[in-house]
Amino acid sequence: MRNSKNGSGLVDGVRRRDVLKGLAGAATLSAIPQGAMAQAAKEAPALAKMTADGKLPALAERIPANPMVVPVEKVGRYGGSLRRGLRGSSDHNGILRLVGNQGLVRWNLAFTEVLPNVADKWEVSADSSEFTFYLRKGMKWSDGKPFTADDVVFSIEDCAKNPDLFKSAPSTLVINGKACTATKIDETTVKIAFAGPFALFLEQLATPLGQYPTLYAKHYCSQFHPKYNTSVADLVKAANLSDWAALFRNKCGDIEIPARWGNVDKPTLDPWVVKEAYTGGTTRVVMERNPYFWQVDTAGNQLPYIDRLTFSISQDVESLMLDAISGRLDIQERHIDTLQNKPTLSQNMQKGGYRLIELVNSSAQQVQIYLNMTHKDPKMREMFANKEFRKALSLGLDRKEIIDLVYLGQSQPYQTGPRPGHPWHNKTLAEQFTGFDAAQANAILDKLGYAKKDSGGIRLRPDGQKVFFAIDVIPTLYPDQVDALELVKRHWADIGVDIKVNTIERALYYTRGDSNDHDAAVWPGPGGLDPMLDPRDYFAHHPQGSRYAIPWTLWYVSGGKDGQEPPESQKQRMKLYDQARATADLQKRGELMKQLFDLTAEAFETIGLCLAVNAFGIAKNNLQNVPAKYPNAWSWPNPGPALPQQFFFTT
């Protein structure tokens, strides 16, 4: 057995002690015979009563013979109701982040290593193309039916790979344009095989988008599937829906849609199951403990500790803030973690009875400026594509002023790249051209042929046009970026470059990017803690995210069929990344990625302002076992990997 690591290593802010503690916990536990663990397990009082009344089978029959043991900081007590807020609609991921993280594997607290979860252990073939997962014997869905290899095979073969349901299979299950095949070896063993090496598969499985193998319960969802139920058309008609795929989605959901939480009958593997569903008309969502949950603490108590979750739905973020400061939310970071809310939340800590928790930003960059190097206008393209021009712009920025004024001094000048402390941190990539040097910037621009200026002091291009471009920014999403850009505008005006801070609505922002109509755009630059999972700033990787050259990303993802052919440096990086993704050996993968970062530094495509600032959240004082610090990311969907099932209330 060989556990693969993603090699993000230790990161700044997440303490080494936490990681060691996690490992130590696992080591002591492995000494206890696992069968004995199930025998000795204890359960919540309400469940014990139901068992005594004969309404539930005994605990030993409900949990697997080898339940997952969660190394808890403190053994908790049962009871209580955890309150959290959702905003309006389309906030389904607010539930996913807390509850729905029960994939085959999971992340450790430091976001550096993949640990066993639904799968007890696994084996990887030598070329990293076949993965054999060993499930837990006797594990049950939340309705008490057994969870077996059949469920995993059904989820992948009949659902994720079904063209009616998913026109193309989810990306996490695809390599070299081909979807994986899942095969049942025996009741609790399943093999997932790919057409080529896919060493990153385990990390992908630990992210939310990697939850497909455990998403659908065969005994329940197969009734909405034409392969298993020939009269599914009647059900479709009765539900007033258009086709079986719509019915299936309505009943069994998908990873990232509200309907995942809209059906109280759907069996899940989650610690809490839906009691009051998340539907269009509702104002709150209630979830109650899953009596068949398959995890226990170090003392053998069945998790979760907390009886129920209540998500209240506020249409308005301000009313969420009101709930937070008046102490009506037990743990919350979503929607309230903006920098301007921090003083208000700090002031009201005593009144609201909560503490602040620090969230380590997984992004690299707070404000990444993407000049469109594939601009439709050849003159603009030529200007943006010139590295010297971008270098001059970077040197012309007074980053310290921006950090002091907009980010309250809580950052440092930064270009991009894995965060400081990350084993792959690349100093050149992170720090080149971040010194403020207007004289040098002016000299470069003069040399580039932009020496002539108009009466307003703005430089002119050789064709007589002003050196001017617009930067798209979404004010409702990132008000801080607008503030930062206003300062950038001033700094660049001093070196004779004029910009327009183009504040637009978010759908328009995306539409302009999709049709390659933007001059430039800003966005927080990802890839600080998760460079393998989101490398969009290191080469043209993301068709909606690598905004400096979206046609190049189309070329990359379509295998050369669409988009525009990128320059040599990009092509090398695309190849290096594909190699790294197929390399299980961390050492070797790191070497490949370091080559990639060197090329990125050499090409210098994006201009960054400062290191992404840490966010924060609140936790009530009586809520225990909440780590004081954890990552803030989508791939590490906080707070889920901090295991909320082992949070508990002291009173």
Closest contact distance (angstroms) between CB of 125 and another protein is 25
Piece in contact with another protein (CB under 8 A), picked from 26-34, 146-154, 256-264, 484-492: 256-264
Of 303 and 574, CB closest to another protein: 574
Do strands 468-473 and 520-525 pair parallel, antiparallel, or not at all (unpaired)?
A: parallel
151: number of Cβ within 10 Å = 29
DSSP secondary structure, 536-552, as one string:
TTTSS--TTT-TT-HHH
Which of 12, 150, 157, 276 touches another protein by CB under 8 A?
Answer: 276
Segment 92-111, which members bind another protein (CB under 8 A)?
Answer: 93
* 350 touching another protein, by CB under 8 A: no
| 115, containing H or E segment | strand 114-116
Which of 14, 105, 245, 357 touches another protein by CB under 8 A?
Answer: 245
Site map 188..217 versus another protein, x via CB under 8 A: --------------------xx--------
Of 221 and 633, CB closest to another protein: 633
Piece in contact with another protein (CB under 8 A), picked from 117-125, 235-243, 385-393, 562-570: 235-243
* 268 touching another protein, by CB under 8 A: no
Which of 30, 90, 344, 465 touches another protein by CB under 8 A?
Answer: 90
Of 186 and 505, CB closest to another protein: 505
* CA–CA separation, 459 and 595 (whole Å): 37
Secondary structure string (H, E, C) spanning 267-309: CCCCCEEEEECCCCCCCEEEEEECCCCCEEECCCEECCCCCEE
Piece in contact with another protein (CB under 8 A), picked from 62-70, 253-261, 401-409, 576-584: 253-261
Do strands 498-503 and 606-608 pair parallel, antiparallel, or not at all (unpaired)?
A: unpaired
* 326 touching another protein, by CB under 8 A: yes
| 355, containing H or E segment | strand 354-361
How long a stretch of residues is the chain?
651
Of 39 and 544, CB closest to another protein: 544
Q: Note the Cα 109 to chain centre separation in Å.
A: 14
* CA–CA separation, 482 and 475 (whole Å): 6
Half-sphere exposure of 445 (CA within 13 A, CB side): 28
Which of 231, 242, 340, 587 touches another protein by CB under 8 A?
Answer: 242
* CA–CA separation, 362 and 611 (whole Å): 10
Closest contact distance (angstroms) between CB of 478 and another protein is 9
Closest contact distance (angstroms) between CB of 334 and another protein is 7
* 283 touching another protein, by CB under 8 A: yes
Which of 526, 527, 551, 563 touches another protein by CB under 8 A?
Answer: 526
Omega into 67 within 30° of 0, i.e. cis?
A: no
Closest contact distance (angstroms) between CB of 618 and another protein is 15
* 344 touching another protein, by CB under 8 A: no
Closest contact distance (angstroms) between CB of 279 and another protein is 6
CB 188 within 8 A of CB 149: yes
623 - beta bridge partners?
A: 649
Q: What Cα–Cα distance (Å) separates residue 20 from each residue in 10, 16, 332, 358, 631?
A: 11, 6, 27, 20, 17
Site map 489..508 versus another protein, x via CB under 8 A: ----------------xxxx
Piece in contact with another protein (CB under 8 A), picked from 10-18, 68-76, 180-188, 258-266: 258-266
368 - beta bridge partners?
A: 523, 608
Which of 228, 436, 468, 634 touches another protein by CB under 8 A?
Answer: 634
Closest by Cα among 133, 117, 119, 142 to 63: 142
Tokens of 130: 């076949």
Segment 147-186, which members bind another protein (CB under 8 A)?
Answer: 166-172, 174
Quote the radius of gyration of the chain (alpha carbons, Å): 26
Closest by Cα among 167, 203, 166, 196 to 181: 196
Footprint of another protein (CB under 8 A): 88-90, 93, 166-172, 174, 208-209, 239-242, 245-246, 249-250, 254, 256-259, 262, 276, 279-284, 312-316, 318-319, 322-323, 325-326, 328, 334, 351, 363, 477, 505-512, 514, 524, 526, 534, 543-544, 557, 633-634
